[in-house]
């Protein structure tokens, strides 16, 4: 389990920006002062003992999942378990700075990234790992980076590249178009390689959240502990055990407000923050869900992350300037047993 869940963690780390969503956005907008560190949620109340008791009751169901058995590990000599990872991803930021004195655009930038990954993962016996299994496989990763500046009429610049990947336990091999190994990296080096390419703090924040479960399991922690960490981050949980076990975790506005605080601190100069009298945040879409599915025998079937986030941020100093920013991240990443 040590290496297998590490590979799931890496895939989540390198792909969780979300893919482009064609669904129409929610037209209900929420506007709030950017003063409080968090927003209240009508979905769950931390002070409600009845909610806490219900949640605790649901979490006991997770204790029935034996992760070692869930990944197909048996005492048979030729056991096997295969998984398919698939993600199609897009993120974008824009920042527009307009002078209210001259009514002219002074500066505009838009940066974005598209990422595609497809990976076939196989599990094999390894007595040296924590849970007796190891991971191997082969796949393809493509990244397209786009940026526009210094004004909104400027031509968009696009850079893209594709690489093949081959992995064996904790080692990753980057392949050229002829499938020849050109670089070799361990798990952390490979993760950092793609974080540097994407260069997005929003991506890293979402990835860290989405990888809580795989990372916790890789450290030998149980499933309930991993899920409780997500609840602490601002998720609510639904569990259905009518046919197998379906675990659905959904982020509340608390998570999004903390996320936007971090993003704003990144895109707005620190010295400006103390002088901005008001910042309005519009939530066009705010879906960030994590689902885990096991069948009736407790065998792992799916790990799905659904991401559809679209925020507008505007702040103004009257008669001087107005700044607006748009933050988009959307799509789906999944790991499915074959």
Q: What is the pLDDT of residues 222-264, one digit of tens each?
A: 899 989 999 988 899 999 998 899 999 998 877 777 777 666 6
Joined together, the tokens standing for residue 9 give 């963690």
Share of the chain above pLDDT 70, in %: 71
- Residue linked to tokens 């392949």: 175
- Interval 3-35: pLDDT, tens: 433 333 333 433 333 333 332 223 233 333 333
Strand residues in the chain grouped as ranges (E): 81-99, 104-125, 133-148, 157-168, 171-175, 181-186, 235-240, 245-251, 279-294, 300-317, 321-337
What confidence category does residue 290 fall into, taking pLDDT thresholds of 50, 70 and 90?
A: very high
Is the pLDDT assigned to residue 267 strictly greater than 70? no
In whole angstroms, give the CA distance from residue 202 to residue 92: 10
- Residue linked to tokens 């103004």: 316
Q: What is the model's pTM? A: 0.70
Contact yes or no for 129/2 (Cβ under 8 A): yes
In whole angstroms, give the CA distance from residue 160 to residue 222: 39
Nearest to 250 by CA among 235, 232, 239: 235
Measured torsion, CA atoms of residues 32, 308, 325, 161, in degrees rounded to the nearest 10? 160
Mean local confidence (pLDDT), 106-113: 89
Give CA separation, 131 vs 3, 5, 264, in Å.
Answer: 9, 10, 42
What confidence category does residue 42 fall into, taking pLDDT thresholds of 50, 70 and 90?
A: very low
Across the chain, mean pLDDT equals: 75
Would you give the DSSP letter of residue 227? H
Give CA separation, 248 vs 46, 60, 240, 241, 278, in Å.
Answer: 19, 15, 9, 12, 36
Nearest to 83 by CA among 130, 119, 117: 119
Contact yes or no for 284/256 (Cβ under 8 A): no
Is the pLDDT assigned to residue 169 strictly greater than 70? yes
In sequence order, what are the residues at sequence separation of 6 or more whose Cβ sits closer than 8 angstroms to the Cβ of residue 56?
Answer: none
Measured torsion, CA atoms of residues 260, 118, 166, 171, in degrees rounded to the nearest 10? 30
Mean local confidence (pLDDT), 258-287: 69
- Strand pairing partners for 316? 322
Nearest to 149 by CA among 113, 112, 109, 97: 109
Is the pLDDT assigned to residue 207 strictly greater than 80? no
- Residue linked to tokens 């493509």: 142
């Amino acid at each position: 389990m040590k290496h297998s869940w590490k590979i799931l963690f890496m895939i989540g780390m390198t792909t969780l920006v979300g893919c482009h969503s064609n669904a129409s956005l929610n037209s209900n907008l929420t506007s709030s002062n950017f003063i409080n560190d968090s927003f209240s949620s009508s979905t769950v109340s931390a002070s409600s003992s009845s909610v806490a008791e219900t949640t605790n009751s649901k979490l006991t169901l997770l204790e029935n999942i034996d992760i070692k058995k869930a990944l197909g590990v048996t005492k048979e000599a030729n056991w096997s378990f295969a998984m398919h990872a698939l993600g199609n991803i897009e993120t974008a930021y824009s920042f527009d700075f307009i002078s209210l004195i001259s009514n002219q655009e002074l500066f505009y930038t838009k940066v974005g990234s598209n990422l595609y990954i497809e990976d076939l993962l196989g599990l094999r016996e390894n007595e040296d790992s924590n849970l007796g299994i190891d991971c191997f496989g082969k796949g393809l990763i493509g990244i397209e980076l786009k940026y526009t500046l210094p004004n909104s009429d400027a031509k968009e610049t696009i850079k893209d590249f594709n690489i093949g990947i081959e992995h064996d336990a904790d080692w990753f091999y980057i392949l050229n178009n002829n499938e020849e190994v050109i670089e070799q990296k361990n798990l952390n080096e490979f993760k950092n390689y793609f974080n540097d390419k994407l260069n997005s703090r929003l991506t890293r924040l979402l990835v860290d959240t989405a990888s809580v479960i795989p990372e916790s399991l890789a450290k030998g922690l149980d499933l309930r502990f991993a899920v409780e960490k997500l609840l602490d981050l601002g998720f609510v949980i639904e569990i259905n055990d009518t046919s197998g076990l379906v675990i659905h975790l959904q982020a509340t506005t608390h998570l999004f407000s903390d996320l936007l605080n971090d993003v704003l601190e990144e895109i707005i100069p620190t010295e400006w923050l103390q002088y901005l009298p008001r910042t309005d945040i519009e939530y066009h879409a705010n879906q960030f869900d994590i689902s885990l599915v096991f069948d009736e025998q407790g065998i792992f079937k799916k790990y799905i992350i659904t991401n559809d986030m679209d925020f507008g941020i505007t702040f103004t100093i009257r008669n001087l300037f107005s700044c607006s920013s748009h933050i988009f991240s959307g799509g789906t990443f999944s790991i499915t047993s074959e």
